Chain A
Amino acid sequence: MSVTTSQLTLAKAITSGLRHALADDNRVLLMGEDIGALGGVFRVTDGLQKEFGADRVMDMPLAESAIIGTAIGLAFCGFRPVVEIQFDGFIYPGFDQIVAQLAKLRYRTGGAVSMPITIRVPYGGGIGAVEHHSESPEAYFAHTAGLRVVTCSTPQEAHVLIRQAIACDDPVLFFEPKRRYWTKGEVTEEIADAIPLQSARVVRDGTDVTLVTYGPLVATALDAAAAAASDGVSIEVIDLRSLAPIDFPTVEASVRKTGRLVVSHEAQLSGGLGAEIAAGVTERCFNWLEAAPARVTGFDVPYPPGSLEEHFLPGLDRMLDAVDRVLGHPNSLTGWTE
C-alpha cells in the first residue's frame, strides 16, 4: 500500500483502521447495532458495509450479551470479530460474556483457543448526553485477567492502535473517547506497527510534575501543562494508551525525573486506575517521590445529568489544583479538615 497521510478526525482514523483490517484479513468481521446502513451512531463504520458487504459488516439484533457471546463462538471458529458497543453504558448486558467467558477461554483451554476479539466502546463524558451515555467503565475490564484494555487520544494513535488491537490474539477492550471523535489530526497509515500495543507515550516533556492520564483527558492535561508553563511550572504529560497492562517503565522514568505524580481520569475515584498507578509508582519509586501522589478523577457518584457534568469531569483547573498540591503550593485543600 502506498504511503498515505491525511488529516482525519479521530472517528475517521478508526474507520480507516477498520477498513485496513477488513481488507487485510477476510476473517475480520464487524458486528454491532446500527453499524451497517447507519454507519453506527457515531458513523465510525460509515461506508464499510457497502464496501465489504453485509456478511463482513453485520448489523446485529439488539442484545449485547448475544453479540459478544456469538463473537466468542465465531472466534472459536477462527474469525476475528470486532464488536461495536453503541455506548459505554450498554456494555453491561454483555459484561458477563466478557469477564466470565471471553477473558478466560485461553486459560481454560490451556492456550488451545485464541480469542482475538476487539470490543470497541465509545466512552466518557463531555458531550452533554443522557444517562448511560457517558460512562467510563475501563477499570472493570482492567481488573479482569485475560483482557487487554486500550484507549487512544489522537487520530494517529487511534488508527494504529485499532489495527494492532484487531491483530492481537488476545481480547482487547478498545475505548474510544467519544468527545474527541471530532478532533482532527494527521494520520499516516503505514506505521501500523510503530506503536506497540502496550506502550505509553510522553506527550509533553517536563521536569517538575508527572501528569499521567489517557483518552479524553490527554488534551485537557496538555492545556493544563501549557497553563502551568506560563506560571513557570513544568509538567510532563504521559498518555498511558494501554490501561492493562500499564507501561510502568515509561511512568517510572518520568517520576524519577520529576519526583511528583498526578494521575487523572474521568472514571470514579475508588478502585479506579488512578489507584493502580499511584500504588504501582509508589512501589517502584518511593524514594524518588517528593510528595504523595494526587488523583484528579470523577467523583464516586453515578455519572450525573448533563448540566452537572462540568463538576464531575476533571478539568484543567482541578488538574492544576492537584499539581499545586504535589508541589506544596497553596491549593484547595490547604487548611481543609475532614
Chain B
Amino acid sequence: MRSTMAGHDPREAEFLGQEDFVQLVTPAGERIPSPGFDPWVADVTDEQLADLYEDLSVVRRIDTEATALQRQGELGLWPPLLGQEAAQIGSARALRSDDFVFTSYRENAVAYCRGVKITDLLRVWRGTSHGGWNPYDVGMAVPAVVIGAQTLHATGYALGCAKDGVDSVAVAYFGDGATSQGDVNEAMVFAATFKAPVVFFCQNNQWAISEPVTLQAQAHISERAPGFGIPSLRVDGNDVLAVMAATRVALDRARNGDGPTFIEAVTYRMGPHTTSDDPTRYRDRDELEEWAAKDPISRLGALLDSKGLLTDELTARVTARADEVARELRAGCLALTAPEPLTLFDNVYATPHRGLDRQRSQYAAYLAMFDGGAE
C-alpha cells in the first residue's frame, strides 16, 4: 500500500482493495465493502445508480456519434473518452453547481454533467470556435489544449474562492502525461502553500499519445502529491462509485478548509488519442483486451443486474435517451456553420484597438471587392 491519505486524514485509514487502489465495485460487478469509503456513497440510491448508468451510456454514445461524425468529415478531429466514462462521470456528478471545473480536451463527459449543451461540445472540433460556451453559465472553463496549463488556473480560482469566503471548490482535470509539465508541479506547490480548495483530478489513462505512463512516472502518480504536502488518493477509475466516493472525500476536505487533494483515477483510453492517431503503432491488443474486461459500463450494469435493477424498462429508457442525444448531436453538428468573416476581429480586446480596427476596416474593403465593388 503506497500513498494514501492515511496520516493526513483519519477518515481514510484502510480502504484499498487487493489492487492498490480504492475499489467499491469489482470488474464483475460485485459490490465490495470498504469501511473507509462506503459512508461517502451510502446515500446513493438505486435510482441514482440507474442514473449513473444512464450517464455512462449516454456519454459513450456521444463519443461514438462524434467519432462517426469525424469519420464522415463533419468534424476535423475528435478526442475520444471511450473507457474513461466512469472517471469523468463519477467525479463530475460529485460536484456542486457552484464548483468550477478546469479541464483539458478529453473531458466531454464532465462537460455533459456540467450542463454544457452537447452541440457546444462540437464547436471546437468543427472549427467554428475556440471555446464553445460561456464558462460562467456552466461552472466550467473552456478546454485547455496546452497540456497542464489549466491546473494553475484551477489553483488560482480556488484561491479566489477562499478569499471570497465561499466553500466552492475548483477541480483541475488532466492526464498522466500532464504530470510531467512544470505547470502541474507548480500548481501543486501553490495549492499546498496557500491551502487552496482545489482538487487535482488526474485521469491516468496509461498513455500520453504514444508514450506509456512509465515514461512520465516511475512510481504511482498519486505518490507525487504527498511530496508537495498534498494528500492523495488512488482510485479505480473504471469504478464510478469509487471515483465518486474519492471525489467527495476530496471536495469535503476542500470545503472544510483542509486544502488540496490529489486523485489519481486509474483508467484506460480504449480508443486512439484523437481520431488522427494510430495506436496500432505503439500498443498491443492484449492490453486492450485486458482493459475491456474492466469496462466501466458493463461493470455497473452487472451491479445493477445483481440487484435486480437492470430491467427491460431501464435498458429501454437508457437506449432511448442515448438515441435522442445522438440525434441531437448530429443535427446540431450539421447546423454549425462558419462564422461571418469579419468576426475574425471580434473579442481580441475588450477596449477599442486602433491597429486592429484599421485591419478590420481594410479587410472589409478587401472583401467588398468580391461583392462586385471596386475592381
Q: Which residues of A contact B (CB under 8 A)?
A: 33-34, 36-39, 41, 59-63, 65-66, 89-90, 92-93, 128-133, 269-270, 299-302, 304-308, 311-312, 318, 321, 330-336, 338
- Which of B188-196, B235-243, B314-322, B340-348 contacts the other chain? B340-348
B135 on the interface (CB 8 Å rule)? no
A39 to B210, CA, bound (A): 9
B70 on the interface (CB 8 Å rule)? no
B130 on the interface (CB 8 Å rule)? yes
B356 touches A62 (CB 8 A): no
Most buried by A among B211, B337, B368: B211
B145 touches A59 (CB 8 A): no
A contacts with B: majority SS: loop
B146 touches A93 (CB 8 A): yes
The distance from the CB of B182 to the nearest CB of chain A, in whole angstroms, is: 5
A305 touches B127 (CB 8 A): yes
B363 touches A299 (CB 8 A): yes
With A61-B215, A90-B146, A130-B127 already in contact, the answer to whether A335 and B374 are too (CB < 8 A) is: yes
A132 to B211, CA, bound (A): 21
With A62-B178, A129-B76, A318-B366 already in contact, the answer to whether A300 and B339 are too (CB < 8 A) is: no
Contacts of A270 in B (CB 8 A): 355
B76 touches A128 (CB 8 A): yes
The answer, among A37, A65, A133, A321, for a CB contact under 8 Å with B281, is A37
B262 on the interface (CB 8 Å rule)? no
B338 touches A307 (CB 8 A): yes
B111 on the interface (CB 8 Å rule)? no
On chain B, the number of residues with a Cβ less than 8 Å from chain A's Cβ atoms is 50
The distance from the CB of B362 to the nearest CB of chain A, in whole angstroms, is: 6
The answer, among A37, A299, A333, for a CB contact under 8 Å with B344, is A299
The answer, among A131, A269, A306, A312, for a CB contact under 8 Å with B145, is A131
With A61-B216, A130-B77, A334-B374 already in contact, the answer to whether A93 and B209 are too (CB < 8 A) is: no
A130 to B344, CA, bound (A): 15
B306 on the interface (CB 8 Å rule)? no
Q: How many contacts between A and B, using CB within 8 angstroms?
A: 132
The distance from the CB of B50 to the nearest CB of chain A, in whole angstroms, is: 36
B331 on the interface (CB 8 Å rule)? no
A269 touches B374 (CB 8 A): no
A62 touches B147 (CB 8 A): yes
With A62-B208, A90-B146, A302-B348 already in contact, the answer to whether A308 and B339 are too (CB < 8 A) is: yes
Beta-carbon nearest neighbor of A90 in chain B: B146
Contacts of A41 in B (CB 8 A): 209, 277
The distance from the CB of A59 to the nearest CB of chain B, in whole angstroms, is: 6
B344 touches A38 (CB 8 A): no
The distance from the CB of A12 to the nearest CB of chain B, in whole angstroms, is: 17
The answer, among A90, A93, A311, for a CB contact under 8 Å with B363, is A311
B182 touches A93 (CB 8 A): yes
Beta-carbon nearest neighbor of B282 in chain A: A37
A311 to B341, CA, bound (A): 7
21 CB contacts below 8 A, A to B, read A33-B208, A33-B211, A34-B211, A61-B211, A93-B146, A93-B182, A93-B183, A130-B127, A131-B145, A269-B359, A299-B344, A300-B356, A301-B348, A301-B356, A302-B348, A307-B338, A308-B339, A331-B374, A332-B368, A336-B361, A338-B358
A338 to B365, CA, bound (A): 11
